[in-house]
């Protein structure tokens, strides 16, 4: 939907500062799902002021005690967070406008699957309703937070499939162009996958992103040759149905050790500029190899 870019380092280049630039893309009723880096009193207050709910993993520096607060169920309660000391970079006026305390809901959830981490997840949310017609259960909150992992998979697709692991341009202007053009192409592929999923009555996440990229690249030249609109529609529909058949393997219960089999540090790293190394090669100096 939107992204924010920042400088390599310096003030205002952290993830939290960049995220605040995206507040204009949020609207009342949205739910922000994020990891524990974003779970701060100040950021939650800022999102609550614009009517946005949060679903964050609780920061490890905060203590959790389910014996306190208002009990909603087993490992499910509402508790008050109090405003702390004014952080650096926040003006006195901004600090004064924030509430002295906020009420949040905390749940504790453990993934009971072989090979998964058994360490409990403590999730913080502003969705407090646990009873009634619009009740949001503990399992529903845990399931919602579980979708956050899709972000990591999307990053992998952008870096690997869209070749954005390394930025090739050098000037800031061209770096921005390279980044946004890549994101435009990524969204077009995702839109194509969504169309294919709609035709086949599937969920978009069930279709392989890599296979969809290959189909789009393979059919690009063929589409350009078709001049008749009716034939073009027939061809596109066939291609979308073919894409929908590229289903991602669903292997429940699969788990793998988080280690690397192939050695990746077998080559020396480039410790000098390429131009200097070329000059050394011209003089038959291979000492760096």
> Which pLDDT tens digit goes with each residue over 21-34?
999 999 999 999 99
Residue 267 confidence class, pLDDT cut points 50, 70, 90: low
Residue 126: what pLDDT? 96
Where exactly are the structural domains of the chain?
Answer: 15-147, 152-244
Among candidate residues 257, 218, 252, the one with its CA nearest the CA of residue 238: 218
Percentage of the chain modeled with pLDDT above 70: 92
> Any idea what the Cα angle at residue 234 is, between residues 228 and 235, rounded to 5°?
85
Q: What is the pLDDT of residue 116?
A: 63
pTM of the predicted structure, to 2 decimals: 0.80
Q: What is the mean pLDDT of residues 26-50?
A: 94
Which residues, other chains included, contact 223 with Cβ-Cβ below 8 Å and sequence gap of 6+? 232, 235, 236
Q: Which residues of 218-248 are buried (b: 16+ CB within 10 A; e: fewer)?
A: ebeeeeeeeeeeeeeeebeeebbeebbebee
> What is the Cα–Cα distance from 181 to 187, expressed in whole angstroms?
10
pLDDT band at 53 (very low <50, low <70, confident <90, very high): very high
Q: What angle do CA 140, 141, 145 make, to 5 degrees?
A: 115
Report the distance separating Cα 238 and Cα 196, nearest Å.
Answer: 10
Among 31-45, 47-61, 249-263, 271-285, where is mean pLDDT lowest?
249-263
26 touches 5 (CB < 8 A): no
pLDDT tens, residue by residue, 223-264: 888 888 899 899 999 999 999 999 987 777 666 666 666 666
Q: Which of 30-34, 158-162, 230-234, 285-289 has the lowest mean pLDDT?
A: 285-289
User: How would you classify the pairing of strands 76-82 and 101-109?
Assistant: antiparallel
Does residue 286 or residue 41 have the better pLDDT? Answer: 41
Mean pLDDT score, 102-130: 86
């Amino acid at each position: 939907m939107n992204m924010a870019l920042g400088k390599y380092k310096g003030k205002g280049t952290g993830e939290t500062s960049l995220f605040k630039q995206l507040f204009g893309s949020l609207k009342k009723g949205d739910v922000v799902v994020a990891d524990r880096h974003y779970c701060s009193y100040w950021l939650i207050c800022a999102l609550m002021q614009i009517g946005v709910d949060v679903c964050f993993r609780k920061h490890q520096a905060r203590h959790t005690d389910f014996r306190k607060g208002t009990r909603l169920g087993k490992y499910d309660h509402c508790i008050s967070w109090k405003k702390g000391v004014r952080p650096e970079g926040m003006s006195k006026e901004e600090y004064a406008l924030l509430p002295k305390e906020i009420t949040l809901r905390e749940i504790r959830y453990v993934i009971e699957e072989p090979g998964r981490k058994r360490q409990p997840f403590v999730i913080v949310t502003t969705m407090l309703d646990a009873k009634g017609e619009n009740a949001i259960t503990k399992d529903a909150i845990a399931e919602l937070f579980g979708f956050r992992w899709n972000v990591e998979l999307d990053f992998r697709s952008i870096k690997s499939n869209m070749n954005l692991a390394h930025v090739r341009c050098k000037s800031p202007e061209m770096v921005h162009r390279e980044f946004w053009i890549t994101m435009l192409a990524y969204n077009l592929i995702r839109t194509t996958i969504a169309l294919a999923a709609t035709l086949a009555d599937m969920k978009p996440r069930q279709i392989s992103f890599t296979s969809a990229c290959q189909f789009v690249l393979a059919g690009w030249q063929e589409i350009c040759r078709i001049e008749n609109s009716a034939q073009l529609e027939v061809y596109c529909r066939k291609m979308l149905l073919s894409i929908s058949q590229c289903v991602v393997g669903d292997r429940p219960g699969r788990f793998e050790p988080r280690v690397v089999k192939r050695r990746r540090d077998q080559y020396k790293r480039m410790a000098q500029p390429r131009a200097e190394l070329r000059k050394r090669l011209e003089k038959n100096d291979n000492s760096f190899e």
